[in-house]
Amino acid sequence: MASHRASWLTLAALALLPGCDEPPGAASGQDGGHPAADRPDGGDGAAASDSGATPDRATGGGTRLHVRVSDSRTAERVPATLTLWDSAGQMVRFGNPADPPFCSQMGGPSLAEIGTGGALATWHGIALWNGEAVIPVGLEWIVTGQCGSETRAQKIPFGSYRLIVSRGLEYELNEYQIDLAEDRGTVFLDVALARTVSTVGYFAADMHVHTSGSNDSSVSGEDRIKTEAAVGIEVVVSSDHNFHTDLGEPIRKLWPDPAFPAPIVSVVGNEASANYGHFNVMPVIADPTKPGNGAIPYKGELEHFTPQTLLDRLHAFPTAPLIQMNHTRLGFGAYFDSDSCGAGGGWKDLARPPACPLDFEAMEVLSGFLACDTRIHRTLADWYALLGFGVVTTATGNSDTHGTSQILGGFPRTYIRVAEDSVRVFDEAELIDALRGRRAVATTGPFITLRVDDRVNEGELITNVTGTVRVNIRMQAASWIVPDEVRLKVNGQTVRTWPLAGSAAALFEVKNESLAVASDAFITAEVEGKQVLPPWMVGEYLTTKKASGYDCPPGAAGPGMIPFAVTNPVLIDADGDGRFRAVNQPITFPPAPDVWIPSPFPEGPPDCDPTGRPLR
């Protein structure tokens, strides 16, 4: 380990990063509340309490929580998530939880917009999607029953609460103790969140999400957008099963005021779902005059396509879309687990290429269904093996969320490098080109970037290599994410390791690490942690124990989503011929059988296996 080239920066040092702030101090709720005269609701309320919340008894009976969240550096209002714990330490939940597949992991009927301004009550808290809302306390609303549960009334009971305000993986957590007893009037909380992870030049994207356009989700387009915006996603790609969903309309409806433009944009996509595999296609056009809004319908030709026929048809869309292979080792609807890629249970021998068509440009290496340590490394082994055979695809990370409880939107996600990462100047064609060019990082929490010889970044080709390159790695993580190790890999093999001692720190850098390269190769960087991410932040699917065991088999970290990130490769042209030649080239792909395998599900397969079979 070249320790003299690697360094930790403390959290305070992150204030110097572009686009970042120094995080809050150790004291809970130190941001404070507005003095009564400055509060937007006016009145002669009491001074700010120790928690930072300001009660206003002059506004009349009842109790309301008025929350406004802003970025502490820019002072701009931002969406966020509010999570409450009662005096007994129990998280306050709303709606009806539901197990997959058909209850959609808490679907749309149990979600409720409460109060005024923009607050969506969900199983894991309140999505403050507009950055500010007045939320009633002690006032009941009706939650519709689903999947056998009863319709019932819910409310935020009067009492004292621990409140955590969060905004995805780029921000610190603010914690408050608030008194929401009866007849306190309006309790105002002015929250300034510190952004301590700089992702300048990258869009935060979730490119695999489901709405009521899918047969296995009942979440409306509006509610999906609200939950994605609340965790800091800037680009969302719709991926309903064999249906083209346009989320642009709900975005325009939710943010009609130009004074507060939408913090999120959308791309129309589709998850073409056959029994042998699921493939996202983006962008496409939503056409309500055609079946599936312009997609290939379930009860039609799709289930009679061979893999090659399906991929050819997807490429033939007039938008020339990018194709991403989804959840490759889910066991169900997973291409590499299917007989199409190898008789008797899929692609098993990674020393040989899979015996199936590989005409896709991106591969989902991180999925909300598969983001524990055991399954992450299984999928990464596939991706590295393909790179070794010269099949260069873009590694992506996506949530594959269907509801709003077990798998939450935004975890994992993909950071995509663009010229300007502002949704106000979003260019869809540039985003797709960046994905094709592998200018991306897949992550569940940490943010890591890779640069070689100070001239190329992740996804790019470096030529005129004279035998040695110098590698720069930069890893950032909010303090609630605990990374343990940074790794440098060449051709999928670890060549350098930097232990981080489980420190909840913010920035680790490797500068000008000398690396000998004798032939064409690919270089990647990874970061991993053993302490699982908080389920209330990322969802509870991977910690759920069923009769067949945990949905994700526990490894060293135990069940749950671990902190993990991987860069796309820097491709090394060592011989100067202007191209990357993989370590296992020349290769001869085995003839793909490309046979049609009938589906057991006449309505088409959802992501979750409805038979309840354990995942492989």
Count of C-beta atoms within a 10 Å radius of residue 200: 10
Of the listed ranges 98-112, 117-131, 158-172, 507-521, the least confidently predicted one is: 98-112
Give the total number of structural domains in the chain: 2
Specify whether 344 is located in the same domain as 415: yes
Judged against a pLDDT cut of 50, whether residue 416 lies above it is answered with yes
What SS3 state is found at 393? coil
Which of these three, 154, 170, 193, is where a domain ends?
A: 193
Which amino acid would we find at residue 302?
L
Residue reference for tokens 């400055």? 38
Judged against a pLDDT cut of 70, whether residue 601 lies above it is answered with no
Specify whether 285 is located in the same domain as 318: yes
- Condensed to tens digits (0 to 9), the pLDDT of residues 466-475 reads 889 999 999 9
Higher per-residue confidence, 106 vs 349? 349
Can the peptide bond before residue 157 be classed as cis, meaning omega within 30 degrees of 0?
no
Distance CA 562, CA 528 (A): 7
Specify whether 495 is located in the same domain as 561: yes
Distance CA 458, CA 452 (A): 8
Integer angstrom CA distances of residue 578 from 434, 463, 464, 517, 581: 20, 6, 8, 16, 10
What SS3 state is found at 330? coil
Can the peptide bond before residue 18 be classed as cis, meaning omega within 30 degrees of 0?
no
Distance CA 431, CA 437 (A): 10
Distance CA 456, CA 445 (A): 24
Of the listed ranges 24-33, 101-110, 418-427, 584-593, the least confidently predicted one is: 24-33
For residue 403, what pLDDT is reported? 85
- Condensed to tens digits (0 to 9), the pLDDT of residues 186-230 reads 999 999 999 999 999 999 999 999 998 988 888 999 999 999 999
**Residue from 369, 295, 285, 367 nearest 325 by CA:** 367
For residue 544, what pLDDT is reported? 74
Q: Which strand (E) or helix (H) includes residue 81? A: strand 80-85
**Structural contact between residues 161 and 86, judged by C-beta atoms closer than 8 angstroms:** yes
**Structural contact between residues 139 and 115, judged by C-beta atoms closer than 8 angstroms:** no
Which of these three, 193, 223, 241, is where a domain ends?
A: 193
Distance CA 515, CA 290 (A): 55
Provide the β-strand partners of residue 549.
Answer: 546
- Condensed to tens digits (0 to 9), the pLDDT of residues 48-105 reads 343 566 655 434 458 999 999 999 999 999 999 999 999 999 999 988 765 444 454 4
Distance CA 275, CA 284 (A): 22
Query: 606: pLDDT confidence band, cut at 50, 70 and 90?
Result: low
Higher per-residue confidence, 430 vs 29? 430
For residue 300, what pLDDT is reported? 63
Percentage above 90 pLDDT, the chain: 62
Query: Mean pLDDT, the chain, as a whole number?
Result: 84
Specify whether 400 is located in the same domain as 503: yes
For residue 575, what pLDDT is reported? 87
Count of C-beta atoms within a 10 Å radius of residue 615: 21
For residue 252, what pLDDT is reported? 96
For residue 10, what pLDDT is reported? 36
Specify whether 119 is located in the same domain as 245: no
- Condensed to tens digits (0 to 9), the pLDDT of residues 320-356 reads 999 999 999 988 889 999 988 988 889 999 999 998 9
Specify whether 133 is located in the same domain as 207: no
Cα angle 273, 278, 282; round to 5: 90
Specify whether 395 is located in the same domain as 492: yes
Count of C-beta atoms within a 10 Å radius of residue 259: 5
Please give the model's pTM, rounded to 2 decimal places.
Answer: 0.89
180 found inside a domain: yes
Task: Show the tokens assigned to 286.
Answer: 């939503």
Judged against a pLDDT cut of 80, whether residue 546 lies above it is answered with no
Specify whether 271 is located in the same domain as 154: no
Query: 420: pLDDT confidence band, cut at 50, 70 and 90?
Result: very high
Mean predicted confidence (pLDDT) in 240-247: 95
Provide the β-strand partners of residue 98.
Answer: none
117 found inside a domain: yes
Q: What is the DSSP letter of 185?
A: E
Rg (CA), the chain: 24
- Condensed to tens digits (0 to 9), the pLDDT of residues 273-312 reads 988 899 999 999 999 999 899 997 655 677 778 899 999 9
Percentage above 70 pLDDT, the chain: 78
Specify whether 189 is located in the same domain as 222: no
Query: 269: pLDDT confidence band, cut at 50, 70 and 90?
Result: very high
Distance CA 106, CA 546 (A): 18
Distance CA 531, CA 444 (A): 12
Count of C-beta atoms within a 10 Å radius of residue 616: 14
100 found inside a domain: yes
Integer angstrom CA distances of residue 440 from 266, 299, 418, 436: 18, 36, 9, 9
**Structural contact between residues 229 and 79, judged by C-beta atoms closer than 8 angstroms:** yes
Specify whether 185 is located in the same domain as 207: no
Q: CA 563, 567, 568, 573 torsion: positive or negative?
A: negative
38 found inside a domain: yes
602 found inside a domain: no
Task: Give the chain's length.
Answer: 616
607 found inside a domain: no
Q: How many CA atoms lie within 13 A of 162 on its CB side?
A: 10
Specify whether 166 is located in the same domain as 231: no
615 found inside a domain: no
CATH code (residue 216)? 3.20.20.140
Which of these three, 141, 166, 193, is where a domain ends?
A: 193
**CB-based contacts of 26, cutoff 8 Å, min separation 6:** none
Residue 82: give the domain boundaries. Answer: 31-193
Can the peptide bond before residue 559 be classed as cis, meaning omega within 30 degrees of 0?
no
- Condensed to tens digits (0 to 9), the pLDDT of residues 372-389 reads 888 899 999 999 999 999
Q: In what order do the strands lie in the sheet with 120-122?
A: 112-113, 120-122, 125-128, 80-85, 159-166, 174-180
Specify whether 182 is located in the same domain as 214: no
Task: Show the tokens assigned to 512.
Answer: 């000008």
What are the backbone angles phi and psi of residue 528, rounded to the nearest 5°? -145, 145
157 found inside a domain: yes
- The residue ranges of DSSP E strands in 517-598, in sequence order, are 521-528, 545-546, 549-550, 564-567, 570-572
Count of C-beta atoms within a 10 Å radius of residue 152: 12
For residue 147, what pLDDT is reported? 61
Higher per-residue confidence, 151 vs 398? 398
